[in-house]
Structure 1
Amino acid sequence: MTVRIDHATTSGTFSLDGQTFDVDNNAWVVGDDRECVVIDAPHDVEAIRGLVGDRRVLAVLCTHAHDDHVRKAPELADAVGAPIFLHPADLVLWNLTHPDRKPDQELADEQVIEVGGVSLRALLTPGHAPGAVCFYSAELGVVFTGDTLFAGGPGATGRSYSDFDVIVASIRDRLLPLPEATEVRPGHGESSTIGAVRSQFDEWVARGY
């Protein structure tokens, strides 16, 4: 069966360091007609379940644990009977939103998740968050970057548990080596390509984006 990528944009808030912002988040579902994985579970469980349909959900994969990416992860996981995967370095952020519910599985760098006959490889890319992870599928030519990388630059690093130099190294060492035609599917906003990002990267770094 053909693997496809389904997408929804959901609206809500992001809160950290005593501030709250209105945000629109991308939610991604990857799979075939029988099974799928969900990448991030932001503001609207029903919108994500609409993408899933009657398929078996193998996992809820978290790119990182800021509340606008995991707020609905426990509710979604319980509704579809799937485990939540999170890199352990991001538990410090997860616990701010879900102190009474832990993720079910630890994500490791280079861990491979199989779904619908394709592989998603976890790439540890700290900087925006200490345990931020991107998911790369060579077969699909896509990398899901969460808030590590957007069409317009690196993810924000002006808040707790973030670091500009670290995110720059993550993008340079883990993402830019991917094939230039690789589609970048971020946690917010429009998609891009690794080639487009590569052409702007030095400018972003020079101005301390």
Structure 2
Amino acid sequence: MSAGCVSGQHPVPGAGREEREPAVTSADAGAGPTGRARVEHLVTSGTFSLDGGTWEVQNNVWIVGDDEQCVVIDPAHDVAAVTAAVGIRDTRAILLTHGHDDHIRAAVEVAEALRAPVHLHPADTMLWEQVHPTTGVDTEIVDGDCVTVAGTRLVVLHTPGHSPGSVCFSAPDLGEDGVLFSGDTLFQGGPGATGRSYSDFGTIVESIRTRLLTLPPATEVLTGHGDPTTIGAETPHLQEWIDRGH
């Protein structure tokens, strides 16, 4: 990942939460890393529903920032736990990796509590509207956008396949070798599920091959569910995933 970011601001017309300022701004593109940010982790429990089925799930919630400001990635299920973990910090953004209901159901309530704008890729608008038909997202994020928190850049990588608007957030300056927040695109052991509506196996494999496996091998992958992995640990298994078809 290069040191610079292509940054933009894409507020959604009529979103209606004027007190929140989108975290994706042109000023952010010029902010360099300071090494102050850290990653905090919560595991929350709830359900995932799609195509008439419902499953019990546990989700990873990631908070990136310092003692003064943060962003929250996929604040799933437990509003009280997420807001307690954030505390009195200035929450610059709620960043959503995709629009499945386990990842977004609590997002509006968390956003209201933390007075933070919700960011989602527009290709998952139909999934968002299934859960929040009367409340829009605040900001649309697209490939190449850059969010800065505590002097650290998170770069949006559009990685469709698990859903059309799935994204990952690449933070090359976090940790020793960089961090990737992969949502449900890449897990320890392979791609995210593609057997339901709006998903496609060939698309997710192409996203992983061209957008993720090109990152440095030591990049830590922090997933939407389950244990972390690294790019280097997953790269040798690409052909196995293609051969098994999932």
Correspondence 1:91 to 2:125: yes
Q: Which runs of 4+ in 1 moved over 4 A?
A: none
Unaligned residue ranges in structure 1 (runs of 5+): none
The one of 200, 203, 206 aligned to 2:237: 200
Q: Does 1:189 align with 2:223?
A: no
* Correspondence for 2:112 among 78, 83, 92: 78
Indicate yes or no: 2:44 matched with 1:7. Answer: no
Q: CA deviation at 1:118?
A: 0.5
Structure 2 length-normalised TM: 0.84
Q: CA deviation at 1:53?
A: 1.5
C-alpha separation between the residues in 1 aligned to 2:44 and 2:189? 20
Partner SS, residue 48 of structure 2: strand
Q: How many Å apart are 1:130 and its aligned residue?
A: 0.4
Are 1:135 and 2:169 an aligned pair? yes
Is the Cα–Cα contact under 8 Å of residues 143 and 182 in structure 1 kept in the other structure? yes
2:170 & 2:143 partners in 1: Cα distance?
12
Unmatched runs of 5 consecutive residues or more in structure 2: 1-34
Relative to its length, the structure with more strand (as a share) is: 1
Shift of 1:25: 0.3
1:150 aligns with 2:179: no
Is 51-60 or 186-195 further displaced after alignment?
51-60
Question: Alignment partner of 1:110: what SS?
Answer: coil
Instruction: Give the superposition deviation at 1:2.
Output: 2.4
Find out whether 1:170 has 2:207 as its counterpart: yes
CA distance in 1: counterparts of 2:217 and 2:194, whole angstroms: 25
Secondary structure in structure 2 of the residue aligned to 1:22: strand
Alpha-carbon deviation of 1:108?
1.1
TM-score, with length taken from structure 1: 0.98
The alpha-carbon deviation at position 50 of structure 1 amounts to 2.1
Identical-residue share of aligned pairs (%): 57
Q: Distance in 1 between matches of 2:172 and 2:208?
A: 17
Conservation of the 8 A alpha-carbon contact between 1:129 and 1:161: yes
- Checking the alignment, whether the CA contact within 8 Å between 1:7 and 1:51 is kept in structure 2 is no
Structure of higher CA gyration radius: 2
CA distance in structure 2 between the partners assigned to 1:146 and 1:46 by the alignment: 21
The answer (yes or no) to whether the contact 1:125–1:133 under 8 Å persists in 2 is yes
1:159-203 Cα offsets, whole Å, 9 max, x none, are 000000000000000000000000000100000000001021211
Counterpart Cα distance in 1 of 2:182 and 2:122: 18
Letter in 2 for 1:56: D
Counterpart Cα distance in 2 of 1:110 and 1:87: 12
Identify the residue that residue 58 of structure 1 maps to in structure 2.
Answer: 92
